[in-house]
Amino acid sequence: MKPLQPVSASSRVAYGIAFFALFVALWSVATFGGYVQRLFLADPITMVREGYNLMVEYGFAYDIGMTIWRVVGGFVLAALVALPLGIAMGAYKPIEALLEPFVSFARYLPASAFIPLLILWAGLGEAQKLLVIFIGSVFQLILMIAVAVGGIRRDLVDAAYTLGATDTSVVRRVLLPNAAPEIAEILRLVLGWAWTYVIVAELIGSSSGIGHMITNSQALLNTGQIIFGIIVIGLIGLVSDFLFKAVNQRLFPWAQR
């Protein structure tokens, strides 16, 4: 191996599968070998059996669908607000000076701390869960997008002005095209964070969703179902991550390494 030396697509897949196989092997040794009590950690076979029961007998597919809807809904709302604000902050320094202190302050506030207030304001329905994801994502997106837009090379902006571009044209034809690949990557990364917020939102006052199932399984000490729920979240996140990467590669092939 050499630093930054790329690997082929087939090798990348092989490495990824090998690590998952190693992880399952260590998990099996720990549980079947008696090193960890099954009360605290179910073995892989028990996890698969409990997952099958969840899907067939308890309608877990509905919970999965509800969780995906909440993640997508809250994240899209956050992106719709963050994109124009982040672009404006990155392009115009007065707007950055106005908004950055508050955005930097707000992004350190844990979304879970707002749940009691959001329950008071929006009740226990879908609005409360969407707002948790929105609050957890929007401030991170705004600041990261602003940094991406504001980091465009100054000589490109100067060249555009030399060629007679207006302020609006500089933003539309210089800043945005150059920052677009990085903005797309930012959206991909923050989508992963949104999954952590939705589980927190579903742990309290929810009657559906993966987080709701995990809470019920914890009360029954059913670690097989808990692990199955966690793995489902990871698999959905992995699929969405690959889809995001594929779309980004199709839209911005020049930005790929």
Calculate mean pLDDT across residues 6-12: 79
Q: pLDDT category, 256, cuts 50, 70, 90?
A: low
Rg value, the chain, Cα: 22
What local confidence, expressed as pLDDT, does residue 186 receive?
A: 92
pLDDT surpassing 80 at residue 73: yes
pLDDT tens digits for range 124-161: 788 888 999 999 999 999 999 999 998 888 887 878 87
* CA distance linking residue 25 with residue 113, whole number of Å: 38
Identify the CA nearest to 241 among candidates 180, 179, 184.
184
pLDDT surpassing 70 at residue 5: yes
How far is C-alpha 125 from the chain's CA centre? 22
Q: How many CA atoms lie within 13 A of 59 on its CB side?
A: 7
* CA distance linking residue 239 with residue 210, whole number of Å: 17
What is the model's pTM?
0.86
In one-letter notation, the amino acid at residue 227 is: I
Q: Output the CA–CA distances (angstroms, integers) from residue 196 to 97, 140, 169, 172, 182, in the order listed.
A: 30, 14, 38, 34, 22
Reported as type and span, the H/E element at residue 1 is none
**43-255 classified as CATH 1.10.3720.10:** yes
Enumerate long-range contacts of 234-241, CB under 8 Å, 24 or more apart: 236/64, 236/68, 236/195, 237/192, 237/195, 240/191, 241/188, 241/191, 241/192
What local confidence, expressed as pLDDT, does residue 257 receive?
A: 54
pLDDT tens digits for range 157-195: 878 878 787 878 888 888 888 888 999 989 999 998 888
Domain positions in the chain are 43-255
Q: pLDDT category, 3, cuts 50, 70, 90?
A: confident
Q: pLDDT category, 87, cuts 50, 70, 90?
A: very high
